[in-house]
Homo-oligomer: A and B are copies of this chain.
Amino acid sequence: MSAPDHDAEAASAQDVTIHVCVTCRPPDFSGEEHDRPGARLFRALQQALSSTPDAAVRLDPVRCLSVCKRPCTVAVSGAGRWTYLYGDFDADASARTIIDGAERYARTCDGIVPWRERPEAFRKGVIARVPPLPQALRDAAE
Contacts and interface: CB of A to CB of B under 8 A. Distances in A.
Contact of A140 (B60, B67, B79, B137): B79
Nearest to A70: B128
Given A127-B128, A130-B85, A133-B15, A138 B79 contact: yes
| Copies of this protein in the complex | 2
Contacts of A60: 131
A79 B86 CA distance: 22
A10 B60 CA distance: 30
Given A19-B130, A127-B127, A142-B142, 17 more contacts: A14-B140, A15-B133, A15-B140, A19-B131, A60-B131, A66-B127, A66-B129, A77-B130, A77-B133, A78-B133, A79-B138, A79-B141, A83-B83, A85-B130, A130-B130, A138-B138, A138-B142
Interface of A: 11-12, 14-15, 17, 19, 60, 62, 64-67, 73, 75, 77-80, 83-85, 126-131, 133, 137-142
- Chain A interface main SS type: mixed
Given A79-B133, A140-B79, A67 B127 contact: yes
A133 B111 CA distance: 15
